[in-house]
């Protein structure tokens, strides 16, 4: 008898998991996962082969306390022996990497030359490997690499689920079916009926346009709705009706910023119930203390769902979504097969980083063409991607029938370029305004303007403040706006996307046309006045000039101002992105050469660099270090647990709302001054926050710091 998993202190017979049972059951689950994209046989074969290395006597000794044994290479070897053509390569990558991660080609080839323990006893089990598969629709090398990663996901999730079931003695509780949630949404949509204001009448028209388009064929859609047009609910209505029409499993709502996710996820929870909405991003904390059994079970189910996205509605970040699609580690890839058969809403689609645009376009294309997904590009400022998608054989269908007329109706602001301004001139110009928002390009500029305006009702926002602090400040800002109190806010661009605020006057430092349009979305949002005022200026100060990645968008934006009377119009935004992409060039639209990591060999076969691609595909640059800020009592309690934890990862996640990321040179400066204390080389804790953290502006660093010239 051969075993897959042991239980310490218990006899083998009747207690340990038999190996043939594990392989059979894992194959069944993996095949079911892969059936969602028509590759059931390949999924089953992976499950049957993944642990055949455990048929070695050395591994069986390992279960009794022996030394560690490589049991992954055996399956990869056998896949090559059993099967012909590309299918064997796809299987071999998955099998070799099902514990350590998908390898690069060179690492896989090394595995084939490795001496491993004799596993031939597996042949006595008589598993059926007489399978057929068709991967002819995966024509490009990128498509084949994408298929490999999706099959890897099927195997990893199946392996972990079956192992978990063995140790816990029970299967996971099934999630609610998406189709059963539609009535809950319908109750919310009743709120749109009989609208009393003109804006709500238009929001109802947008909603109806989404519902009318929902029965259409699966594919790639755009939803171009002006800021304040109610696109969150309308896009969800499209997604739910579309999913019902095509028998899809879930809706995935991907958003660029965690602050917007928290806002939208709460809207979805209010509609569909907490137990049906998974909020999954780095700042989300799964609460440990629940008030009753139902809440406890819901929290436990959500923790499980975050592992493999087994939930009808997912609210996540662009970072989590796209980086998972290019990951190689089992924990990151486990969820991927559950992206198939989904409606994916990419909110604020213009926020996809330009340097990763080509890989992201290709990934979206794969999901639509080969994994039964419908994708909706949802924004007020569409990033002119039609031509990019056309190159991979996809068209983009707009949901709103008359976008131009809709945008004219939602013209609630007057946007003008007022030229160069010194900080003193700017302060003088806005000092007499009762309520005004000023958005600038750098933290340095935000700090300087804030200091000149300091006083009652003056606020500052930047990423030098920890997320929990910013959340508190935004709540205060909303309160003062609601009460009609005087307020002046100076912010970096973090406030532009999805923060639901409404100022009568907004000043915006010169930037890309999309940023200016998003800034305008914070002005007269609810149409309470005839025309809001948006003034774009060019800073005469060195610290206010766009730098780095902001420089070229600002230059292009300046040109669009000269060519179009309304820089926020559909035509202006489209021309802006076309010009921006032209100047960037194809090479800069894949700046990390991600597509080159998946190519055809000159002598036949394919070269896949999964590990290298995952390392390079990072939306958020990794030349920063994290510093935890003791901002409130809860953070102090978690930090105390962190300091005494053997496994700190859980507490680091809980401390994300109190964490600020700094450039390494600023981090080193604070370390040298004794302002921070390092913790196990994975993070640092800010010391003496009363001295080193300003309750209005965040972490205090050198006035000429590099960090201050970033957003």
- Higher-pLDDT residue of 62 and 499 is 62
Q: What is the pLDDT of residues 422-457, one digit of tens each?
A: 999 999 999 999 999 999 999 999 999 999 997 789
| Residue 184, in any domain of the structure | no
Same structural domain, 293 and 364: yes
Q: Are residues 475 and 429 in the same domain?
A: yes
* Phi and psi at residue 18, to the nearest 5°: -70, 140
The pLDDT of residue 287 is above 60? no
Judge whether residue 381 has pLDDT over 80: yes
User: Mean pLDDT over residues 71-85, rounded?
Assistant: 88
Q: What is the arithmetic mean of pLDDT over 369-378?
A: 97
Range of 666's domain? 624-709
606: three-class secondary structure by DSSP: strand
CA neighbor of 662 nearest in space, from 699, 615, 692, 618: 699
pLDDT higher than 50, residue 487: yes
pLDDT above 90 as % of the chain = 62
Tell whether the torsion through CA atoms of 404, 409, 414 and 415 is positive or negative: negative
Is residue 254 in a domain?
yes
Q: Does 578 reside within a domain?
A: no
Within-domain flag for 194: no
As a whole number, the mean pLDDT across the chain is 89
Number of domains into which the chain is organized: 4
Residue 295: predicted pLDDT: 60
With respect to residue 148, please indicate whether it lies within any of the assigned structural domains.
yes
Find the mean pLDDT for residues 222-245.
92
| Segment 506-548, tens digit of pLDDT | 999 999 999 999 899 899 988 888 899 999 999 999 888 888 8
Categorize the per-residue pLDDT at 130 as very low, low, confident or very high, splitting at 50, 70 and 90.
confident
**527, 468: one domain:** yes
Please state, in angstroms and rounded to a whole number, the distance separating the CA atoms of residues 312 and 275: 10
Residue 697 counted as domain residue: yes
- Contact call for residues 234 and 293 (beta carbons, < 8 A): no
pLDDT score, position 542: 87
Across the strands, what pairs with 317? 255
For residue 12, give both structure tokens: 């083998």
Is residue 5 predicted with pLDDT exceeding 70? yes
Q: What is the CA radius of gyration of the chain?
A: 27
Domain boundary among 400, 430, 462: 400
Angstrom distance (rounded) from CA 45 to CA 135: 15
The average pLDDT across 293-316 equals 77
Under a CB-based contact definition with an 8 Å cutoff, are residues 470 and 406 in contact? no
Provide CB contacts within 8 A for 151, sequence distance 6+. Answer: 34, 39, 42, 43, 46, 90, 91, 94
* Cβ within 8 Å of residue 594, ≥6 positions away: 326, 356, 358, 359, 613, 616, 617
| CB-count exposure of residue 426 (10 Å: 0-12, 13-18, 19+) | buried
Q: What is the pLDDT of residue 430?
A: 94
Residues 683, 659 contacting (CB under 8 angstroms): yes
If asked whether residues 66 and 139 sit together in one domain, one would say yes
Inside any domain, residue 232: yes
Place of tokens 């199946």: 158
Do residues 394 and 411 share a domain? no
Residues near 305 by Cβ (< 8 Å), separated by ≥ 6? Answer: 175, 278, 311
Report the pLDDT value the prediction gives residue 49, as an integer from 0 to 100: 95
Element (H, E) at 669: helix 664-672
Task: Sort 293 into a burial class: Cβ within 10 Å, 0-12 / 13-18 / 19+.
Answer: exposed
Give the whole-number percent of the chain exceeding pLDDT 70. Answer: 93
Strand, coil or helix: 502: coil
- Do 547 and 668 lie in one domain? The reply is no
Residues 163 and 100 in one domain: yes
Task: Using alpha carbons, select from 332, 386, 396, 389 the residue that is nearest to residue 360.
Answer: 389
Which residues does 169 contact at the CB level (< 8 Å), separation at least 6?
none
- Which whole-number Å values give the CA distances from 446 to 436, 438, 533, 641, in the listed order? 14, 9, 20, 35
**Per-residue pLDDT tens for 194-227?**
666 777 888 889 999 999 999 999 999 999 998 8
Residues 333 and 414 in one domain: no
Average pLDDT over residues 640-649: 83
Are 59 and 87 found together in one domain? Answer: yes
**Beta-ladder partners of 132:** none
Strands (E), 104-167: none
pLDDT tops 70 at residue 230:
yes
Q: How confident is the model at residue 497 (pLDDT cuts 50, 70, 90)?
A: low
Per the structure block, which two tokens stand in for 146?
A: 């994408």
User: Is residue 171 scored above 90 in pLDDT?
Assistant: no
Do 248 and 230 fall within a single domain? yes
State yes or no: pLDDT of 290 exceeds 50.
no
d(CA 482, CA 525): 13
Residues 240 and 187: their CA atoms lie apart, in Å, by: 13
Whether 12 has a pLDDT exceeding 70, the answer reads yes
Looking at the structure, do residues 673 and 554 belong to the same domain, yes or no? no
- The enclosing domain of 551 has a CATH number of 3.40.50.300
Q: What average pLDDT does range 270-299 have in this prediction?
A: 68
Last residue within a domain, chosen from 361, 378, 400: 400
Does position 616 have pLDDT exceeding 60, yes or no? yes
Domain of residue 155, CATH code = 1.10.3210
Six-digit token string for 428:
């003088």
One domain, residues 240 and 381: yes
Return the residue matching tokens 């934890």: 645
pTM score, whole prediction: 0.89
Where does the pLDDT of residue 466 fall: very low under 50, low under 70, confident under 90, or very high at 90 and above? very high
Which pLDDT score, from 0 to 100, does residue 146 have?
Answer: 97
Is 289 a residue whose pLDDT tops 50? Answer: no
DSSP 172: P
Residue 592: inside a domain: no
Cα within 13 Å of Cα(71), Cβ side: 24
Q: Tell me the C-alpha to C-alpha distance, in Å, between residue 286 and each of 19, 196, 275, 301.
A: 34, 39, 12, 10
Last residue of a domain, one of 367, 400, 433: 400
């Amino acid at each position: 008898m051969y075993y897959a998993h042991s239980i310490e202190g218990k006899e083998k017979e009747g207690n340990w998991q038999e190996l043939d049972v594990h392989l059979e059951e894992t194959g069944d689950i993996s095949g079911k996962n892969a059936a969602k994209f028509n590759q059931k046989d390949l999924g089953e074969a992976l499950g049957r082969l993944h642990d055949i290395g455990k048929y070695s006597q050395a591994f069986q000794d390992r279960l009794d306390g022996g030394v560690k044994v490589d049991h992954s290479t055996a399956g990869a070897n056998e896949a090559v022996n059993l099967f012909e053509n590309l299918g064997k390569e796809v299987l071999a990558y998955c099998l070799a990497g099902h514990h350590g991660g998908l390898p690069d080609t060179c690492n896989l080839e090394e595995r084939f030359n490795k001496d491993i323990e004799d596993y031939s006893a597996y042949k006595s089990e008589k598993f059926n490997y007489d399978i057929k598969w068709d991967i002819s629709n995966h024509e490009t090398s990128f498509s084949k690499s994408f298929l490999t990663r999706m099959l890897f996901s099927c195997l990893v999730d199946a392996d972990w689920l079956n192992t978990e079931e063995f140790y816990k003695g029970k299967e996971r509780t099934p999630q609610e079916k998406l189709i059963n949630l539609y009535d809950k949404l319908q109750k919310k949509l009743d709120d749109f009926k009989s609208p009393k204001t003109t804006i709500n009448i238009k929001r109802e028209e947008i909603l109806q346009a989404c519902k009318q388009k929902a029965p259409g064929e699966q594919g790639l859609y755009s939803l171009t709705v002006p800021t304040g047009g109610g696109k969150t609910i309308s896009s969800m209505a499209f997604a739910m009706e579309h999913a019902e029409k095509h028998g899809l499993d879930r809706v995935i709502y991907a958003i660029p910023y965690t602050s917007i996710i928290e806002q939208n996820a709460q809207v979805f929870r209010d509609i569909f119930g907490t137990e049906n909405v998974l909020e999954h991003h780095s700042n989300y904390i799964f609460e440990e203390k629940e008030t009753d059994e139902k809440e406890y079970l819901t929290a436990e189910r959500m923790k499980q769902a975050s592992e493999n996205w087994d939930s009808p509605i997912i609210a996540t970040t662009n970072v989590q979504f796209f980086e998972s699609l290019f990951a190689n580690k089992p924990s990151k890839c486990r969820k991927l097969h559950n992206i198939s058969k989904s409606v994916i809403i990419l909110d604020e689609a213009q926020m996809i980083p330009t340097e990763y645009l080509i890989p992201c376009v290709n990934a979206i294309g794969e999901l639509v063409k080969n994994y039964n997904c419908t994708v909706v590009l949802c924004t007020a400022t569409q990033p002119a991607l039609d031509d990019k998608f056309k190159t991979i054989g996809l068209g983009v269908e707009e949901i709103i029938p008359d976008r131009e007329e809709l945008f004219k109706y939602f013209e609630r602001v007057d946007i003008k370029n007022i030229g160069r301004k010194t900080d003193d001139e700017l302060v003088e110009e806005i000092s007499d305004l009762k309520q005004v928002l000023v958005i600038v390009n750098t933290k340095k500029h935000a700090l300087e303007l804030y200091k000149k305006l300091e006083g009652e009702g003056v606020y500052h926002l930047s990423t030098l403040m920890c997320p929990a602090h910013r959340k508190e400040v935004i709540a205060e800002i909303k309160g003062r706006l609601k009460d009609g109190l005087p307020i002046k806010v100076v912010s970096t661009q973090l406030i532009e996307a999805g923060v639901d605020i409404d100022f009568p006057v907004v000043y915006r430092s010169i930037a890309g046309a999309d940023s200016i349009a998003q800034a305008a979305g914070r002005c007269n949002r609810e149409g309470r006045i005839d025309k809001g005022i948006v003034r774009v200026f060019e800073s005469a100060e060195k610290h206010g000039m766009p730098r780095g990645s902001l420089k070229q968008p600002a230059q292009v934006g300046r040109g669009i101002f000269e060519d179009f009377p309304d820089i926020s119009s559909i035509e202006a935004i489209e021309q802006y992105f076309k010009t921006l992409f032209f100047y960037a060039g194809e090479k800069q639209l894949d700046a990390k050469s991600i597509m080159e990591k998946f190519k055809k060999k000159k002598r036949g076969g394919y070269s896949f660099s999964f590990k290298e691609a995952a390392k390079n595909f990072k939306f958020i640059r990794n030349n920063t270090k994290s510093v935890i800020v003791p901002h409130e009592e809860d953070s102090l309690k978690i930090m105390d647990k962190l300091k005494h934890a053997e496994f700190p990862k859980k507490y680091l996640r809980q401390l994300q709302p109190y964490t600020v990321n700094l450039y390494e040179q600023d981090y080193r400066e604070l370390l040298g001054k004794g302002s921070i204390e390092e913790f196990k080389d994975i993070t640092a804790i800010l010391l003496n926050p009363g001295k080193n953290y300003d309750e209005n502006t965040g972490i205090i660093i050198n006035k000429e710091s590099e960090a201050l010239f970033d957003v």
